[in-house]
Amino acid sequence: MSAEEIIEKFKKSFQTPSRKDERLKVVLICVVISTTFWFFSALNKDNYVSQISFPISISYDKEAYIATKPLPERLTLEVSGGGWDLMTRSFGFNMETLDVYVERPDSRPFVLVSSLRSEIAANLEPVVINYIPNDSIKFDIQRKVEKTVPVAVDESQIRLDNNYRILEGIRVRPDSVLLTGPEETLASIEEILVTPNVRGVDADYSGTITLENLPEFVSANTKEIGLSFPVVRYLKITESFPVQKKNFPIDAIDFEPKRLDVTYAISELEFDATDSTELELTVDFNNFDPADSTIYIEVEKRNPKIDNVTFTPLRVKLIKND
């Protein structure tokens, strides 16, 4: 027989009851009545023992302090009393939330339960407290302080177009921010690092970055940081330079090659096509390596803006003049 057939048969027994169904109804009613009487009778008895959750509220000066973790809202108690009294309190009735004011929560991060027992007991009467499992109510409330820290920029996240470079330092507005938050958290913050998502820059840049990812419970006096910086295009130049002698003892000793093609990068603002003295290549005889009769070529930059100097070979080979 399926479940649907059983349910349908049960419905019909109430609509057109047989003698057997009538007897079954009587039995069920008796069970319900006896259970109800037993339940109410049991509740009238005394000296039951149970655990209840008593409501508490931790309060403090929110202008001067800040809670860094959720505050406890319940205190577990082992109590004894009549059935009706315990049942109502188990469901949270007939209990007023106890306000626990903490004057200096940063210096003493707990409240002894023993100091609250009399107030709780008065709230629970006629239920009696037998035992309190926790000896203290713990919390994490720190002093709220302010601290000014500099703003730093993660320059690795700034992508310039090919051959462009930042001409001067990045300007930050404001260059510092005022933070407000828990004392211990602010003590560990030395700067605020902003990460600009800037790509393909080929002109002077100016923009703003939203100040995000501050530590929890920390706020700043501004939500945006302004960034600006000028850029300049660098030219890739290839020129031929002579290699100069230095500290050679006699003219009979010479070297090869005497001239090299040198490639370097220089700002377009600094480049002068008529100036051939940007670089100087020299070989110093004092650096002679007798193992292979070579000397490393030294480079002197006459212009500090020159960068990425490359040439080959890196050494000259000594030879004797005829």
User: Strand 98-101 vs strand 48-59: parallel, antiparallel, or unpaired?
Assistant: parallel
Residue 295's domain is classified under what CATH number? 2.170.120.30
What pLDDT is stored for residue 36 in this prediction?
A: 46
What's this model's pTM, rounded to 2 decimal places? 0.65
pLDDT category at 57 given cuts 50, 70, 90 is very high
pLDDT value at residue 40: 44
Tell me what the pLDDT averaged over the chain comes to.
Answer: 83
Regarding whether 244 and 310 lie in a shared domain, the answer is yes
Res. 83: pLDDT tops 80: no
Of 116, 139, 162, the residue at which a domain comes to its end is: 139
- Which distant-in-sequence residues (6+ apart) come within 8 Å of 76 by Cβ? 51, 52, 53, 54, 132, 133, 134
Whether residues 130 and 73 fall in one domain: yes
Range of the domain at 24: 3-43
Whether residue 153 is found in the same domain as residue 222 = yes
pLDDT, tens digit, 9 for 90 and up, residues 241-283: 999 999 888 777 888 999 999 999 988 888 776 566 678 999 9
Looking at the structure, do residues 263 and 194 belong to the same domain, yes or no?
no
Q: How many domains does the chain have?
A: 4
Q: Do 205 and 272 belong to one domain?
A: no
Show which of 229, 245, 274 is a domain's final residue.
Answer: 229
Which has more confidence, 277 or 295?
A: 295
Q: Are residues 55 and 36 in the same domain?
A: no
247 with 209, same domain: the answer is: no
Least confident of 78-87, 95-104, 240-249, 258-267: 78-87
Tell me which of 229, 244, 263 is where a domain ends: 229
- By CB neighbour count within 10 A (0-12 exposed, 13-18 middle, 19+ buried), where does 295 fall? buried
